[in-house]
């Protein structure tokens, strides 16, 4: 079953990660120009209708992209 991540910034002790990332950050700028919603339609046929939901295909693609751009070959290092 295809999962979708519903991301909303949450306040924890008045800390928001979005406020700590500079406006000219590469990944912030990339997010503004890279539209990945088309991945839901392309990957939909590869998911079943039962069982637990998977990782969001867009999140998975972003993880792979960051791993490639940062030359991170270890899954553990990538999630850290």
Kindly report, residue by residue over 15-45, the tens digit of the pLDDT: 677 888 898 999 999 999 999 999 999 999 9
Per the DSSP assignment, residues forming a β-bridge with 15 are 12
- The encoded tokens of residue 70 equal 């940062």
Instruction: Give the C-alpha separation, 24 to 28, whole Å.
Output: 7
Check whether 13 has a pLDDT greater than 70.
Answer: no
- The encoded tokens of residue 80 equal 């850290």
Q: Is the pTM of this model over 0.75?
A: no
Instruction: Give the C-alpha separation, 62 to 17, whole Å.
Output: 18
């Amino acid at each position: 079953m295809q999962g979708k991540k519903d991301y909303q910034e949450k306040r924890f002790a008045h800390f928001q990660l979005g406020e700590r990332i500079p406006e000219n950050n590469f990944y912030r700028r990339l997010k503004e120009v890279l539209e990945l919603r088309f991945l839901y339609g392309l990957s939909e046929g590869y998911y079943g209708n039962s069982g637990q939901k998977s990782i969001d295909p867009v999140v998975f693609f972003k993880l792979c992209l960051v791993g490639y751009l940062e030359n991170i070959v270890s899954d553990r290092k990538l999630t850290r």
